[in-house]
Amino acid sequence: MVRQILIRAGADADSIFMTPLRGTHPSGTVRLGQMLDDDLQTEVAGLYVCDASTFPEALDRPTVLTILALGKRLAAHLVTGESQVHAADAEQVQSA
Asked which of 51-55, 66-70, 87-91 is least confident by mean pLDDT, the reply is: 87-91
User: d(Cα 42, Cα 85) in Å, to the nearest integer?
Assistant: 16
DSSP state, 40?
S
Q: Tell me if 27 sits within 8 A of 63, measured CB to CB.
A: yes
Backbone angles phi, psi at 35, to 5 degrees: -110, -10
Verdict on whether the full-model pTM lies above 0.75: no
The structural domains of the chain, with segments of one domain joined by +, span 23-86
Higher pLDDT, 69 or 89: 69
pLDDT surpassing 80 at residue 21? no
CB contact set of 77 (below 8 Å; sequence gap of 6+): 39, 40, 83, 84
Nearest to 49 by CA among 21, 24, 28: 28
Whether residue 70 contacts residue 40, with contact meaning beta carbons closer than 8 Å, is answered with: yes
